[in-house]
Structure 1
Amino acid sequence: MKLDERHLVQLAAVVQAGGVTEGAALIGMTQPAVSRTLSMLEKRLGEALFVKGRRPLQPTPLGRALAEHGQAMLLASRKASELVESFHHGRGGLVRIGGTPFFMDALISGTIAEFQNHYPDVRVDQSYGYLQELQASVIAGRLDLAICPIDIVDEGSGLEFQEILPGRNVVACRSTHPLLIKRRLGGKELLDYPWIAPPPGSPLLADLRSLLLSLGATEIKVRYSGGSLTSAMTYLKSTDALTVLPHGVVFAFRKEKSITALPLNIPHPERALGLLRLADAPRSPAVEKFALHVRQSFDNLRHLIKRHEQAVVWGA
């Protein structure tokens, strides 16, 4: 015998409320409509659903058992309604985000934490990648947003890019590095020290090569390569090695006072960190709220980094 799920929901509401009128109000129906449903259900089952003459209504064993199934449906329906409302207001849902490893670990992970303090029911799935891989994932619909450094978006790609932080590279070192005590720092002196190379595929690797070539190096004296941001920072703090990093990443470690930037301007490509996404794709409210949160967070960060730069006397 197949039963109508809506009838079981109405039965559950009446059992829960203890009366037909109260149960009907609980699910937004009229008392006559619910009474007709219960009468029809009893006739179909050939069994009473409530003990006659009891007030408040007392379900029979069969009525109670069927009401338990209806209660599960009622709860599922309410949760679904809450989920839809939460989705429309951006308080729930899924945000799939990918980005370049150093930026994600140094800057974006903290931004995600701040966002979820305000929207704890939004799930964020994070992954790593570099520009080509991230572009492919966004175009294929595997990512809602990518956060990565980029110089220009190809025309006709269907992608849009919003800058959140201007690009600037620095030479990073430990805060007690011998080069920091020199009164006038020349670029050639950087060649006396070993280097940490960024992971393969990172645009920072090309930046490092360009820097060393501009200083006249014929080969790169790399002592350590391919590590994560955490491992590179740990290595940097314990040695006299140098590496090229975005200034925003070095800035993120300023409170630890173990890593700093050499007061030296270095060449770097015209590249900015920003949000990459499909231009015309449907956008969920949660993704829009997250993107807005990232932009606002980086607006504040941009001013802090600018003040930090002005507090350092950069060399020529």
Structure 2
Amino acid sequence: MKIDEKHLIQLAAVVQAGGVTEGASLLGLTQPAVSRTIAQLERRVGEPLFVKGRRPLQPTPLGRALADHGQAMLTASRKASALVDGFRHGRTGVVRIGGSPFFTDALVAGMIAEFQHAYPEVRVEQSYGYLPELRAAINADRIDLAVCPIDILEEGSGLRFQEVLPGRNVVACRVTHPLLMRRKLDPKELLDYPWISPPPGSPLMADLRSLVLFLGATETKIRYYGGSLTAAINYMKASDALTILPHSVVFAYRNEKAITALPINIPHPERALGILHRAEDLGAPAVEAFSNHIQKSFENLKHLIKRHENAVVWGL
């Protein structure tokens, strides 16, 4: 025997509300329509579903059992409706984000946590990469967007880049580094100290090579290679080693008072930090909500980052 699921849902509403009129109101239906459904269902099963003469309506054992099945369907239907509504408004879904390691760890990870305070039902899947890998991942639909540094975006790439911060590199060191004691810092003194290598293949690695050439050398003393951002900072705190970092990363660690930037300008390409995504749209509403959150978060940080830069980097 096949029973119409809609009939079970209406039965469940009547049992839950204690009356046909009330059950109809619960579902947004008319009382005559629900009365007809209950009568059809009773004819279908060949048994009464409610005890005669009882008010409020009291289901028979069979009526109760069928109503329980209908209640499960009603609950599932409401959950599905809530899921669709949440998806449309960006409150549910998945955001797949890629990013350059140091910048993502220092700044973006905290922004992800803040986003999920407001959107707790959105799952964020994060991965790492640099521009070539991130661009390929977006085009292959493995990620929805990337937060990364970029020099130039080729015309006709099918991608869009929204700047959130201007690029600015600094030479980072521990707060008690001997070079901070100099009244006047000679840039060539940077070559007297060991260095922590930026991640291989990163823009920072290319920037370090440019800095070494700018200082009139062809190589520098790399003493630590291949570590994560946390590892690099812990190494720096316990040594006189230097490294090159985006100023925004140094800014992110300002409250720990463990690392800082040397007061020296260094050459680096024109570069911006921002959000890279497909040109046509951001896809799911949750992705758009996340992108808006990232943009707003950096907008709120811009003046603080600039103030910090003016305080610690004075120029040659």
TM-score range, shorter chain: over 0.9
Whether the 8 Å CA contact 1:174–1:258 is kept in 2: the answer is yes
Separation (CA, whole Å) in 1 of partners of 2:141 and 2:219: 41
Whether the 8 Å CA contact 2:261–2:313 is kept in 1: the answer is no
Task: Report the Cα offset of residue 313 of structure 1.
Answer: 5.1
Q: What residue number does 1:25 align with? A: 25
Whether the 8 Å CA contact 2:172–2:260 is kept in 1: the answer is yes
Residues 1:115 and 2:112 are matched in the alignment? no
Whether the 8 Å CA contact 2:265–2:313 is kept in 1: the answer is no
Change (3 A) 1:307 1:99: same
Q: Aligned AA for 1:112?
A: I
Q: Aligned AA for 2:62?
A: L
Whether the 8 Å CA contact 1:164–1:299 is kept in 2: the answer is yes
How do 1:130-149 residues align onto structure 2 when only pairs under 5 Å count? 130-149=130-149
Moved more, 91-100 or 159-168: 91-100
* TM-score for both structures, normalised by structure 2: 0.96
Q: What residue number does 1:35 align with? A: 35
Separation (CA, whole Å) in 2 of partners of 1:282 and 1:153: 18
Separation (CA, whole Å) in 1 of partners of 2:42 and 2:7: 11
How do 1:159-308 residues align onto structure 2 when only pairs under 5 Å count? 159-281=159-281, 283-308=283-308
Deviations 1:9-47 (A, max 9, x none): 111111111111111111111111111111111111112
Separation (CA, whole Å) in 1 of partners of 2:250 and 2:90: 33
Q: What residue number does 1:124 align with? A: 124
Structure 1 stretches of 4+ moved >4 Å: none
Q: Aligned AA for 1:125?
A: E
Task: Report the Cα offset of residue 227 of structure 1.
Answer: 1.0
Separation (CA, whole Å) in 1 of partners of 2:44 and 2:309: 80
Separation (CA, whole Å) in 1 of partners of 2:142 and 2:27: 39
- 3-state SS of the aligned residue for 1:103? helix
Task: Report the Cα offset of residue 216 of structure 1.
Answer: 2.4
List runs of 5+ in structure 2 lacking aligned partners: none
Change (3 A) 1:108 1:282: closer
Q: What residue number does 1:87 align with? A: 87
- 3-state SS of the aligned residue for 2:312? coil
Task: Report the Cα offset of residue 213 of structure 1.
Answer: 2.1
Identity rate, percent: 73
Residues 1:103 and 2:103 are matched in the alignment? yes
Separation (CA, whole Å) in 1 of partners of 2:313 and 2:36: 84
Q: Aligned AA for 1:109?
A: A
Separation (CA, whole Å) in 2 of partners of 1:25 and 1:282: 40
For these two proteins, the number of residue pairs brought into alignment is: 316
Separation (CA, whole Å) in 2 of partners of 1:314 and 1:282: 40
Q: Aligned AA for 1:60?
A: T
Whether the 8 Å CA contact 1:185–1:315 is kept in 2: the answer is no
Separation (CA, whole Å) in 2 of partners of 1:313 and 1:228: 25
* TM-score for both structures, normalised by structure 1: 0.96
- 3-state SS of the aligned residue for 1:164? strand
Q: What residue number does 1:48 align with? A: 48
Task: Report the Cα offset of residue 139 of structure 1.
Answer: 1.3
Change (3 A) 1:90 1:8: same
Separation (CA, whole Å) in 1 of partners of 2:233 and 2:215: 24
Separation (CA, whole Å) in 1 of partners of 2:133 and 2:3: 51
List runs of 5+ in structure 1 lacking aligned partners: none
Moved more, 172-181 or 191-200: 191-200
Deviations 1:104-126 (A, max 9, x none): 11000111122222222222222
Separation (CA, whole Å) in 1 of partners of 2:260 and 2:272: 21
Separation (CA, whole Å) in 1 of partners of 2:68 and 2:56: 18
Deviations 1:246-281 (A, max 9, x none): 000001001111100000110111111000000113
Task: Report the Cα offset of residue 136 of structure 1.
Answer: 1.1
Whether the 8 Å CA contact 2:262–2:313 is kept in 1: the answer is no
Separation (CA, whole Å) in 2 of partners of 1:261 and 1:82: 49
Task: Report the Cα offset of residue 96 of structure 1.
Answer: 1.5
Separation (CA, whole Å) in 1 of partners of 2:134 and 2:76: 37
Deviations 1:189-214 (A, max 9, x none): 11111111112221111111221122
